[in-house]
Chain A
Amino acid sequence: MDAEMKDVILEYVREEYLDEDSGIEVDENTPLITGGLVDSFSLVSLLMFLRQKYNANIPDQEAIPETFDTVTNIMKLVERYRQDK
């Protein structure tokens, strides 16, 4: 696992989708969609971030709970769709 990528994505999730006062902790295995932390509308911004940061054009239909619910799964998709690989 790419530790740096994990930290970058986790940091983005914490910064953009969580409130500091909420006390909610996330790690790479925390369910983001099915855990109610990232809603379907907000996925647009997460996909945009991954495209900009990693040049990964993840199709919208992959951004579903089965494949996109945790940072671990998101990283797998990033690796699969990276254009620079």
Chain B
Amino acid sequence: MSNIGSYDERYRDFDWSRAEEDLSWDDGGMINIGYLCSDRNCELGLADKTALIWESFSGQEKRYSFNDIRIYSNSFAKFFRDLGIEPGERICIFLDKIPALYIGLLGVLKMGAIVQPLFSAFGEDALFTRLEDAGTEAILTSRKHIGKVRRIRDKLKALEHVVVVDGEGMELSDGEVAFDFEKAEAVERFDVYQVSPETPSLLHYTSGTTGKPKGALHVHHSILGQYMTTKWVLDLLAEDIYWCTADPGWVTGTSYGIIGPWSLGITQLVLEMGFIPARWYQAIEKYKVTVFYTAPTAIRMLMKEGEELVKKYDLSSLRHTASVGEPLNAEAVIWSEEVMGLPFHDNYWQTETGCIVIANYPGMKIRPGSMGKPFPGITATVVDPTEYKPIEKVGSVGLIALKPGWPSMFRTYWNNQETYDSKFKNGWYICGDRASIDEDGYFWFVGRDDDVINTAGHLVGPFEIESALLEHPAIAESAAIGKPDPVNMEVVKAFIALKPGHEPSDELKLSIINFVRKKLSPLAMPQEIEFRESLPKTRSGKIMRRLLKAQETGEEIGDISTLEDD
């Protein structure tokens, strides 16, 4: 029997107060996420239980109990407080998947500051844009990444502290300080900052079609959504060994790689290493992983590696598998059931929703290729794109829309209330994705409603890529689109018109892709470049990205005069 039991019954009777009771909020319990994921587990008798099993790139293994997590997160909290960071100020965590990231995040929350997690592969321009927008006061990083911070530091007026987790023994500049949490003073007791449900907790940046990336602000109340969905969608039980492969630089890695499992007192595995099929299978076998949450791109790459590799490993410990990030194709669901003995349960949500909102549930029949049904407590539909009214006709494509009010919904975009407001139409939050709903209420993803590129489950903004491309000395005009890709769903393709005096060449292509990779990230780096004499434009001079995409995918373009008027 799964945790959720009967989906229909749960959906019918659900109230978020159920999560409040589970987390003891109804008894006046503390609601700080940092406390709930560490101290509370110890108070419930789990102090000696393993909270984190971590394996480094080189295969070195470390284990931390919930009591370790409690004490070390206290150390982080005290350290930041002693630095003079005030509650509500932003502390960026810019680290690879190492223990300091996971424990440091709880420490920041415990002292009342806002965590700004950023993907450690971001280049200096991507980092600068996000730190500048957030007015970040401190950044927690490592030797490996400090060069990027140093090169932009002078331009960041608010950034006062650079904390280097492995900085002991290295030459540090003004404002840089080394902090090794395992060598620091063990802080047995820390006066956790008392938050209200609406106190900001995390600031996750996400990309849009236009403008700079936007910081989706979440609050401590969000834990109700993360707790409940982890329990019912990921179906975690006390004895589970859970593995979420997401990087906490992105929202899945914080909601389901830290907050969800630890609010339930679950042991979780973290591999520093990225995707390497044999090592992943090896990890499932070695650590006897029972619940596995990953991304469709990874599943498709496992499929590519074939059945022979799977057979070399004992994956019999697995009892539940799930995926998120982009639509999971039906073939992947069928393959996993045939080869691994378990179908992946796809689910849907986004940075702004904070938690899973549509899912395939354990115990419920999966329809391969479908995102599933709305989570209890979530009212979801598809609406038409003009009046934003729910579409009644079964199977019609519309915009995915959610009724606002669930606990983990974002509360604003940092410094950008106007864009936040624009996301709400006719009383619905509009997700920006298109889908249809079948006769039984299952949602079927169709595509995005904007030009944002979804590559390997990560959203990349075309505007940010185009802006970076224009900084290259040879480039006069640029456009970035998502080119369909069988493994990554989409990859970035750039169309480029060169400045006079520059000629297309393979050397120039390499120079351009490395230029973008270093400025933004490997995800934003064009995997393909096409040189053109000039790029198609609207009458007002805007480059017609959608026309380029239609040409690329062979879609019917139709009358381009409407595009020209955009």
Contact = CB atoms under 8 A, between A and B. Distances in A.
Nearest to B506: A52
Contacts of B509: 48
Contacts of A52: 506-507, 510
Contacts of A48: 506, 509-510, 513
Interface stretch (A1-9, A38-46, A75-83): A38-46
A62 interface: no
Interface in B115-130: 121
A36 B274 contact: yes
Given A39-B522, A48-B510, A34 B279 contact: yes
A36 B522 CA distance: 13
A29 interface: no
B525 interface: yes
A21 B143 contact: yes
Contact of A22 (B143, B276, B279, B506): B143
Contacts of B272: 36
B560 interface: no
B146 A22 contact: yes
Interface string A36-67: 10011110110011011000000000000110
Nearest to A48: B510
B25 interface: no
Contacts of B276: 33-34, 65
A20 B144 CA distance: 9
Sorting the interface of chain A by its residue count into under 10, 10 to 19, 20 to 34 or 35 or more gives 20 to 34
Contacts of A40: 274-275
B45 interface: no
B150 A21 contact: yes
Nearest to A43: B522
A6 B400 CA distance: 53
A35 B144 CA distance: 12
A78 B518 CA distance: 25
Contact of A45 (B274, B275, B507, B514): B514
Contacts of B456: 41
A25 B146 CA distance: 16
Nearest to A21: B147
B146 A21 contact: yes
Contacts of A22: 143-147
Given A34-B279, A49-B510, A41 B146 contact: no
Contacts of A34: 57, 273, 276, 279
A11 interface: no
Contacts of B144: 19, 22, 24
B170 A23 contact: yes
B57 A23 contact: no
Contacts of A44: 513, 525, 527
Interface in B491-546: 506-507, 509-510, 513-514, 517-518, 522-523, 525, 527
Interface in B73-102: 96
A22 B96 CA distance: 13
Given A36-B273, A36-B274, A48-B510, A42 B145 contact: no
Contacts of B274: 36, 39-40
Nearest to B524: A41
B448 interface: no
B403 interface: no
24 contacts: A16-B517, A19-B144, A19-B145, A19-B146, A19-B147, A20-B147, A21-B150, A23-B143, A31-B57, A33-B276, A34-B273, A36-B272, A39-B274, A40-B275, A41-B517, A41-B522, A42-B517, A42-B522, A44-B527, A45-B510, A45-B513, A45-B517, A45-B525, A52-B507
Instruction: Report, nearest first, the 4 A-B pairs whose CB atoms are least far apart.
Output: A21-B147, A19-B147, A41-B522, A42-B522
